[in-house]
Each structure stands twice: as C-alpha cells, then as structure tokens.
A and B are shown apart, each in its own frame.
Chain A
Amino acid sequence: MSSSDLRHTALDALHRSLGATMTDFAGWDMPLRYGSERDEHNAVRTRAGLFDLSHMGEITVTGPQAAALLDFALVGNIASVGTGRARYTMICQEDGGILDDLIVYRLADTEAGLQKYMVVANASNAQVVLDALTTRAAGFDAEVRDDRDAYALIAVQGPASPGILASLTDADLDGLKYYAGLPGTVAGVPALIARTGYTGEDGFELFTAPEHAEELWRALTEAGAPEGLIPCGLSCRDTLRLEAGMPLYGHELSTSLTPFDAGLGRVVKFEKEGDFVGRAALTEAAARAQENPPRKLVGLVAEGRRVPRAGYPVVADGKVIGEVTSGAPSPTLGKPIAMAYVDASHAEPGTAGVGVDIRGTHEPYEVVALPFYRRQK
C-alpha cells in the first residue's frame, strides 16, 4: 500500500514536524518512533510518554436495549458496568473464536435517557467488529454507530501522567479509578478522560474531537516537558505491552483461538442473563481448557541476546513444542523476551530444556509466568 492510500490521523502533520518515522499499521500511517524507541519505552516506565492512538476504532451503541445488545454480542457482562466505568472484554464468533478484544466504556445516558456505550476496537478489526455488532443488533432496540471519524485518541502514560494531566484539567483525577472514564475539559478542550492504557503503567486515554487533537497534544507536550514527557511511537507501545503481558490481536489472539485458549477465560461471563454469541462453543472450550489444555500462553526470557520473533518455533529435546507469538528485546529486563503458546507439558515456569529456534539455532530460554513486568503501586 502506498503512503497516499493510507489513512492519516488529525495529528499527521505534527508527527512529521517532529521527525517521526512512520509505519503502515492496519491501513493507517502511524508514528513508529520519533527518536530512540528504547528512550521512549523508558520514558513511559519512569516519567511519561504521549501517544497518538487515533487509529483505534470507536463504535457508539445507544438505545433502550444497548446493554442487552452488548451482553448478547460480547462475552462480558456489560449490563453490570456502571456509568463512568470501563470493561476489558472480547467479541467472539459462534464457534468461540476471538474476533477482537475490546474496551467498552459505559458513558452517561443520553439526554433522552437512553443507555450509551463506546466500544473501542483494534484498528485492524474495527470494520469486522462494526459489522458484527450491526448484524447482532437485529431485534434489539439499539443503534450501532461508526464513530471512527468522530474521535482522535491521545494517550498520556507513565508515572508522571497524573500530575501532568492534573495541571490541565479540573476533573477529579484522584477519584478516577483504573478502568473508569469521565467527560471533562483538558486544556480547554472537551474530552472523555479514561484511566486506561496498554503499557502496564498508570495513565490516561483522552478521546477528543479530531479538530481539537493538535491543541490537546501541544498542551500536554508543554505541560509534560518539565516532567520528562516525550512523544512515543507504536514501536515502544508494543514492547511496553509485551513486558506487561498484554495480548495483541493477530499475535496472541485470533479467530482460531477462544479466550480460554489464550488464558483469558475470565473475560467470558457465563453467569450473565440470556444467550450470547458463542456461549455453547465457549462452554465446551472452558471444559477442555480445564481438563486437557492443548497449549498455554507463557513468557520466555532469553539467556542469550538473540531476539525471538513472532512465528519462531519453541523447541525442547529437538522437537517443536510451541510457537512464539510476540518477541522483542525488553528495555526493562535488558534481555530478549517473548510470549509463546507451548504444549501444556512444557508450560510450567522453570521447565528445563526449552529453547527457541532462532533462524536454525536453538537458543536457551527460561519459561516464566506472565507478566514480565508489574509496576510498583
């Protein structure tokens, strides 16, 4: 795909003025990094980083039966999400395969008193999710609206982010819990302020109108500079989420896996009322995962310095026992790490003799429990 076919966010000109290296990500021309991706990674771990995530796909669901629709369409218990709170969940196929992982925000009711939710899908799956929700909405009194162009999304992540954001808003950030969101004004700009992220650090995601994105970005940059905030690209976002053990669709999650296969069966809420898409298949998948799990998602830490990449075989005793789904040099651990699906027989932390086939050479790896990194609270 040539650059002219790619979609550009409202911050595109700004990224270019900052000298960003851009990359094609799910059809969007996005900043990969501005300078050193390791410096960007470390800034988020120790200070703060600023991300343009406007490629994420927002879908608004409103109506008297919005919650009922989402309970039917998704695997989570959405009706139980309170106003101003958010929930990590998934949308599955009838056969239980994962279509996408999502964050659903319960917004304030509309002026007409209708339930209102914002579903945030991965850029690569936004259309699939939109189509599935639209199809599944048949028979429900709820409207599914494509709001991808209605929002820019800017994230400020890292231990300094609460202080930086507090200097730009009167919103009650102390009262804003993890996985909560409230409408507010930041630097004079209306935004939905959500305490969510994909980095393993404290931080915020700010949904705003595209025409306000540049103003908001500049204000955050200015307020954050004394705290060491720097702009951060998707490259460090990937290493940050990998260290935090967070799955990425297309790597750890796919239509050929159920949430139980991915070790995320907890997101499936069988106890909720009514049927939901995938219930029968997921009930079987849950039992299978309990009794006879085929493979498990584990962490691998290198003893050497060669880096495992997605698709590399995991080996033991000369046999392939799994496959790397994501791998990178970890800036925080100072060595290569990976997530991999491995046979249950080799999934216990500390299992001896496990390696990764790195372009023909079997490099020793230690099996560890996820995540690799957990922030100190």
Chain B
Amino acid sequence: MSNPTDLRYSKEHEWLSPVEDGVATIGITKFAADALGDVVYAQLPEVGESVAEGETCGELESTKSVSDLYSPVSGEVTEINEDVVNDPSLVNSEPFEGGWLFKVRISEEPSDLLSADEYTEFAGN
C-alpha cells in the first residue's frame, strides 16, 4: 500500500493531514501499523491537552508490545477518534482513514516532516 501523497510524515511513522482552518489530523502509517501487529488499546491525548512536536502524547498497545505515540506537530488537541478508542483494530485496517488518532490546532509549523516519497524511502517500503 502506498503512502498517500497529500500527507506529510514524521520519522516516528506518524502522518499529518493538510491543515484546514488551522487544524490537522494525525495518525500512524500503514508501515507502523504493520510493524506493531494488532493494536488492542490506544491511549490518546485528551481534548484540550497541549502536545509538542516530537514528544510522546500517548501509547499504542499491540499483542507483542507497547509503543509510544509521538506528536508530529505542536498545538492543542481538538478532537480524538472515539471510534479507535472503541475499536483499536481500525488503526490496522484503515491507518490512513478511519484509523486516524487525533486532531491538533497547530501552534507552530512543524519543522522536519517528510513527503510521501521521502517517507517511503525512509521506511524502506
């Protein structure tokens, strides 16, 4: 599965949607979801919480391991995906769509994100 070209990517394997009215959507990539295996629990940041670029803001539990969730951008969380909280397998089945994780009102333009092509090369897929 190719990485959508309209998204930007972090080296921690998150994606960031195009910004709309100052808000962007964040999720993890298919590459990351495949590496994790079945996600069974998503601990997401809370609405209203401030997140900082490159810092942990939650965790994803899979059968074999737990992984920190990093925010690819600084800002304030405006919404979390309750569907993923209720059914974390969406992260595996639709990582770029229904498996999005949270939305952030961006306070600062992120500095170090990759294009789809750059990320594909970075992830080696």
A→B interface (CB under 8 Å)? 21, 32-33, 36-38, 235, 239, 305-307, 309, 328-329, 336, 359
Tell me whether B66 and A329 are in contact (CB under 8 A). Answer: no
B61 CB contact (under 8 Å) in A33, A37, A235, A329: A329
Question: In the complex where A36-B92, A329-B40, A329-B41 touch, is A306 in contact with B61 (Cβ < 8 A)?
Answer: yes
Quick one: which of B30-54 are within 8 Å of A by CB? 34, 37-38, 40-41, 43
Max chain A CB contacts within 10 Å: which of B41, B64, B92? Answer: B64
A307 to B36, CA, bound (A): 14
- Do the beta carbons of A38 and B38 come within 8 Å of each other? yes
| Residue tally, chain B, CB below 8 Å to A | 13
When the two chains form the complex, which single residue of A33, A305, A306, A336 contacts B37, counting CB atoms closer than 8 Å? Answer: A33
Q: Provided the pairs A239-B63, A328-B63 are in contact, do residues A37 and B37 lie with their beta carbons within 8 angstroms?
A: yes
Is there contact, CB below 8 Å, between A305 and B40? yes
Task: Report how far A32 CA is from B34 CA in the complex, Å.
Answer: 12
Docked complex Cα distance between A239 and B64 (Å): 9
- What B residues does A328 contact at CB under 8 A? 63-64
Q: How far is the CB of A364 from chain B (nearest CB, A)?
A: 15
Give 26 CB contacts A-B under 8 Å: A21-B34, A32-B37, A32-B64, A36-B37, A36-B38, A36-B92, A37-B37, A37-B38, A37-B64, A38-B38, A38-B40, A38-B89, A235-B63, A235-B64, A305-B40, A305-B41, A306-B61, A307-B40, A307-B41, A307-B61, A307-B66, A309-B65, A309-B66, A329-B40, A329-B63, A359-B66
Q: Which residue of A lies closest to B88 (CB)?
A: A305
Is A37 in contact with B66, judged by CB distance below 8 angstroms?
A: no
Q: Main secondary structure on chain A at its contact with chain B?
A: mixed
Chain B 91-112 interface mask (CB, 8 Å, partner A; 1/0): 0100000000000000000000
Give me 10 other A-B pairs in contact (C-beta within 8 A), A36-B92, A328-B63 excluded: A21-B34, A32-B37, A37-B64, A38-B38, A38-B63, A235-B64, A305-B41, A306-B43, A307-B41, A336-B40
Q: What per-residue 1/0 map shows which CB atoms of B64-79 lie under 8 Å from chain A?
A: 1110000000000000
Could you tell me the distance between the alpha carbons of A38 and B65 in the complex, rounded to whole angstroms? 14
Residues of A with C-beta under 8 A to B43 = 306
Give the nearest-CB partner of B41 in chain A.
Answer: A305
A309 / chain B contacts, CB cutoff of 8 Å: 65-66
Q: How far is the CB of A282 from chain B (nearest CB, A)?
A: 35
Q: How far is the CB of B76 from chain A (nearest CB, A)?
A: 24
Chain A residues near B63: list those with CB within 8 A.
37-38, 235, 239, 328-329
Which of B34, B43, B61, B63: most chain A Cβ within 10 A?
A: B63
Residue with the greatest number of chain B CB neighbours at <10 A, chosen from A21, A235, A309, A329? A329
Which residues in B have their C-beta under 8 angstroms from that of A305? 40-41, 61
When chains A and B are docked, how far (Å) is the Cα of A38 from the Cα of B89?
A: 10
What CA separation (Å) do A96 and B92 show in the bound complex?
A: 45
